[in-house]
Amino acid sequence: MSLRLYVLQRLTALVMAPLVLVHLAVIVYATRTGLSAEAILGRTEGSLFWAGFYGLFVVAAAIHGTIGLRTVLVEMTGWRGGGLDLAMLCFFLAVLVLGLRAVVIVT
Amino acid sequence: MTTDLDVQVWRGDSAGELQRYVVPRGDKQTVLDVVTYIQRRLDPTLSYRFACRVGMCGSCAMTVNGKPRWTCRASVERVAEAGSLELRPLRNMPVIKDLAVDMTGFFEKWQEAGGRFVPTSTRHDPIAVVPPSSPARQAADAGIECINCGICHAACDVVAWDPAYQGPAALNRAWTLQNDVRDGDHGQRLRAVASGSGCLGCHSMGNCARYCPNSLNPTGSIAGLKRLAVKAALKGEL
Ligand code: SF4
Ligand code: SF4
Ligand code: FES
């Protein structure tokens, strides 16, 4: 892992820590109060706040998770070089696109 | 103390096998005593290393019942669970023969991690005054009693996974030098260790600290290097 990736992974962890807590609180709140899917969508649709919140979450998680997966692959399989970088770029884009698509749909 | 000890010893190179010996137990017997008994009385072809016998030189490390230990200070009474011993060479280093491993790669990593002191003054300059209470000196102090035994290197799973990883001993050495105010190579050394093969590869699992016979904490030293590297990166210096 390069120092750049290392720092990026720590920074995204720093960004995600409060987001995860809020996300968990939201889950607990939504399930405890028995909000229906319509009620939830009613609150998220058109909300700049939730679009920004989960948009940032998706970007940070995609970066953080890809660097982590890359490290696991390097250590467990010994895979290195351009092929690995390309595969990781694809993984990152897939997570990013799927995540952002979900954010766009519910907000 | 009258019972015999059942000892399985690794014989041959990496493709060798365990061989069984029966060794009489003795008072205050160390694992090194057991190996020496085998070599002197039972099988003179057994190869192993030792020098000081008092925990100073770092040459007698082996895998004892699955754990890396300095054998000259490992008492049989304490480590021979169920009255038996299984002795293998250290992990993560090529086996030369029997219990002797090739430590060339281990010491090359010390060089890769900038383990060499680079002086900033000559013998003609006055002796540097380093206050014992200064934070840097205390940080260096915590790591300088390394005897180069390779036990931490054998205990580390990242070393096992990534042959390029510099390993806990080399990185611990680098950390002590980064805290040596007389050293003039802090920038280059940080560059040498700030990579996945260096301090960034460490998972902070602490196997090294757990098994270091001198109770050093390479995990902590490596965390210190990570902090230095991140600070330098954020300042744009690396
Ligand atoms: S703390 Fe780091 S250096 Fe020590 S054993 Fe674990 S991975 Fe290896
Ligand atoms: S840090 Fe401890 S275990 Fe590692 S080589 Fe030095 S003395 Fe041995
Ligand atoms: S023989 Fe010197 S440390 Fe064990």
| Level-2 CATH architecture, domain B4-101 | Roll (3.10)
Best of A73, A74, A75 to disrupt the B interface (most B CBs within 10 Å) is A75
Say if A79 is an interface residue toward chain B (CB within 8 Å). no
Over the stretch B179-218, which tens digit does the pLDDT of each residue have?
A: 999 999 999 999 999 998 999 999 999 999 999 999 999 9
CA of B18 to the centre of ligand 2 (A): 27
Residues of chain B with CATH 1.10.1060.10: 104-234
Residues in B touching A4 (Cβ below 8 Å): 233
Nearest CA in chain B to A72: B161
Flag if B196 and A4 touch (Cβ within 8 Å): no
Q: Which CATH number applies to A2-106?
A: 1.20.1300.10
Domain residue spans in chain A? 2-106
Predicted pLDDT at B21 = 98
> B10 burial class (0-12, 13-18, 19+ CB within 10 angstroms)?
buried
**ipTM confidence:** 0.79
Average pLDDT over residues B9-22: 97
pLDDT tens-digit readout, A17-44: 999 999 999 999 999 998 999 999 999 9
Q: What digits encode the pLDDT tens for the residues B124-137?
A: 999 999 999 999 99
Tens of pLDDT along A53-85? 999 999 999 999 999 999 999 888 888 889 999
Beta bridge partners, B61, equal B70
Could you say which of 3.40.1080.20, 1.10.645.10, 1.10.1060.10, 3.30.420.40 is the CATH number of the domain covering B104-234?
1.10.1060.10
Distance between CA atoms of residues A14 and B84, nearest Å = 50
Contacts of A85 (CB under 8 A, 6+ apart): none
Q: Is the pLDDT of residue A15 over 90?
A: yes
CA of B64 relative to ligand 2 center, distance in Å: 16
Q: Is B218 in the pocket of ligand 1 (CB under 6 A)?
A: yes
Centre of ligand 1 from the C-alpha of residue B175, in Å: 14
